Amino acid sequence: MTTSLVTMHKQKKIAMIAHDNKKPALLEWARFNRELLAQHLLFATGTTGQILSSELDLNIHRFASGPWGGDQQVGAKIVEGDIDFIIFFWDPLEPQPHDVDVKALLRIAVVYNIPTACNRASADFIISSPLMGKEYNRIVNVKLPGNQ
């Protein structure tokens, strides 16, 4: 294992995900933070991306729906260095048919030292951080693609 620095540029690559019961809360949060989000590259899983894109008129790259592989696609993008942080309004009280995928995504986020907000308070803290408008060197203690 080697330690690498991954530069998160001023324009962040943000993945947004929400379970069904949390989609209205994520939409409300994103609406409140729309101007700031518009300055960054946005990604989202299926229905969440469709809702955010149409309601907020934002350009959002959409992955598949979570149960259809979207969580795994986000995880792959983390490994490839294409996601800087995750806003994931997940519902811990509702059983999810793709719970294994959710756990795998959160595991990859921790392994690659990706800031991850799982509720509105943590999302507020991340997006209001002074680091949002700066480059940041994230320390990663795994072998990164391309680093032999």
- For residue 98, what are the contacts with CB-CB under 8 A and spacing of at least 6? 66, 67, 71
Give dist(CA 37, CA 31) in Å, integer. Answer: 9
Q: Which of 20, 57, 71, 124 is catalytic?
A: 71
Please classify residue 138 by burial: count the beta carbons closer than 10 Å to its beta carbon, then call 0-12 exposed, 13-18 middle and 19+ buried. middle
Query: E strands within 19-98?
Result: 41-44, 60-62, 85-89
84 is catalytic: no
User: Which residues does the annotation mark as catalytic?
Assistant: 71
